[in-house]
């Protein structure tokens, strides 16, 4: 067992967190590097700030378990600090951990009814997110699907509709998220009360991390969140929102070209020192850490560094190699 001061951060906020993780953090208290993390967690009195630092502790344990040497809170020449300097074999890089709280439903999912399956038969090559209220009557779900189908048949990327009953009761919503390579609609089904664009929040976190970069070195941003659904939002924040490109020639057999808007963190020459960004699953009891990676397409990292990052943060093979534009169609 371990003892913590009654008013300390670990005692105040650690009850619903992973017990083995808390024990490991306590074991760091006399470590010349990791003791900094322990002391920070103990001193924090705000839960949200505590969880931000706890996310750093999760990654510290992950790095240690993979044989890395780490330094904590390394100062830059500008007087800012990198969360970690990491030595992994012959490779050295600086790591910046940011936590994203999107408050998504963690486990609840809508049943995919036969009515919703009808939408998947619509011959348009888009990813479409649908949501509807629970416990709709048979007539309400039919009304919802009919309205959604009519919307999908004519909508463009980024379009959204709120569907209501005759008495203006909201039944749900539908949004065209992105193009994709299939010939028919691909549905993303969940239970949010509304659609929220997380891009601005994610880009703010990325810009904050970028200001903490160690000049002239390899720097990696890791965004933590509790939901794998946030992956799409992070990719969009990096590369830009999906748009229809009327100034570009569509691929053969396609009537509309698709691309990325200029709002991406990696658009053009924006944030030139950023060449790799990752996501990891922030769950209070998630072991091992689940990660994904993106690499900047126009400025690749040297192969040894890229291989090291994949080994550390994407061993399951989920690496996302970004491309600037994605092709799409409109077969109306």
- Comparing CA positions, the residue from 181, 153, 329 lying closest to residue 255 is 329
Task: Determine, yes or no, domain membership for 178.
Answer: yes
d(CA 181, CA 244): 15
Domain that holds residue 18: 1-102+199-239+260-324
Which of 169, 190, 211 marks a domain boundary? 190
- Comparing CA positions, the residue from 96, 93, 140, 90 lying closest to residue 115 is 140
Which of 190, 213, 228 marks a domain boundary? 190
d(CA 213, CA 223): 15
Task: Determine, yes or no, domain membership for 253.
Answer: no
Task: Determine, yes or no, domain membership for 255.
Answer: no
pTM: 0.69
d(CA 207, CA 191): 30
Q: Which two tokens stand for residue 257?
A: 């070209």
Number of domain units in the chain: 2
Same domain, 98 and 178: no
Our separate counts of H helices and E strands in the chain read: 9, 13
Note the pLDDT tens digit of each residue in 46-75: 999 999 999 999 999 999 999 999 999 999
Same domain, 139 and 225: no
Task: Determine, yes or no, domain membership for 250.
Answer: no
Give bridge partners of residue 127 from the DSSP assignment: 178, 186
Mean pLDDT score, 250-263: 54
Task: Determine, yes or no, domain membership for 78.
Answer: yes
User: Nearest 5 degrees, angle CA 270-CA 237-CA 223?
Assistant: 100
Which of 190, 209, 224 marks a domain boundary? 190
Taking the CA atoms of 202, 205, 211 and 213 in sequence, report the sign of the dihedral they define: negative
Same domain, 171 and 278: no
Give bridge partners of residue 162 from the DSSP assignment: 173
- Comparing CA positions, the residue from 70, 65, 47 lying closest to residue 220 is 70
Task: Determine, yes or no, domain membership for 282.
Answer: yes
Note the pLDDT tens digit of each residue in 1-43: 444 444 588 988 888 788 888 999 999 999 999 999 999 999 9
Same domain, 173 and 214: no
d(CA 293, CA 312): 10
Q: Which two tokens stand for residue 27?
A: 């074991």
Note the pLDDT tens digit of each residue in 137-185: 888 888 999 999 999 998 887 788 889 898 888 888 888 877 777 788 8
Same domain, 62 and 203: yes
Same domain, 315 and 266: yes
- Comparing CA positions, the residue from 219, 189, 183, 207 lying closest to residue 85 is 219
Task: Determine, yes or no, domain membership for 245.
Answer: no
């Amino acid at each position: 067992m371990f003892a913590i001061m009654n008013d300390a951060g670990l005692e105040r906020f650690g009850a619903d967190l992973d017990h083995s993780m808390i024990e490991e953090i306590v074991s760091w208290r006399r470590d010349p590097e990791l003791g900094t993390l322990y002391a920070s967690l103990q001193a924090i009195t705000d839960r949200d700030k505590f969880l931000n630092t706890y996310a750093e502790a999760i990654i510290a344990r992950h790095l240690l378990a993979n044989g890395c040497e780490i330094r904590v809170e390394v100062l830059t020449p500008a007087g800012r600090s990198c969360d970690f300097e990491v030595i992994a074999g012959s490779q050295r890089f600086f790591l910046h951990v940011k936590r994203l709280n999107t408050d998504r439903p963690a486990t609840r999912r809508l049943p995919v009814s036969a009515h919703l399956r009808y939408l998947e038969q619509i011959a348009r090559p888009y990813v479409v997110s649908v949501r509807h209220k629970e416990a709709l009557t048979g007539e309400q779900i039919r009304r919802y699907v009919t309205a959604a189908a009519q919307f999908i048949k004519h909508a463009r990327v980024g379009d959204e509709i709120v569907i209501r009953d005759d008495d203006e009761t909201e039944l749900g919503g539908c949004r065209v998220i992105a193009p994709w390579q299939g010939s028919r609609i691909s549905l993303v089904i969940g239970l949010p009360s509304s659609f929220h664009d997380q891009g601005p929040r994610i880009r703010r976190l990325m810009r904050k991390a970028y200001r903490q970069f160690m000049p002239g070195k390899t720097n990696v941003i890791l965004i933590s969140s509790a939901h794998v659904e946030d992956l799409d939002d992070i990719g969009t924040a990096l590369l830009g929102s999906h748009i229809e490109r009327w100034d570009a020639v569509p691929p053969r057999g396609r009537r509309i070209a698709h691309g990325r808007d200029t709002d991406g963190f990696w658009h053009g020459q924006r944030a030139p020192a950023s060449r790799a960004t990752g996501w990891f699953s922030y769950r209070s009891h998630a072991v091992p850490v689940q990660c994904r990676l993106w690499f900047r397409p126009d400025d690749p990292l040297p192969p040894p560094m890229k291989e090291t990052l994949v080994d550390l943060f994407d061993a399951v093979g989920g690496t996302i190699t970004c491309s600037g534009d994605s092709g799409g169609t409109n077969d109306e």
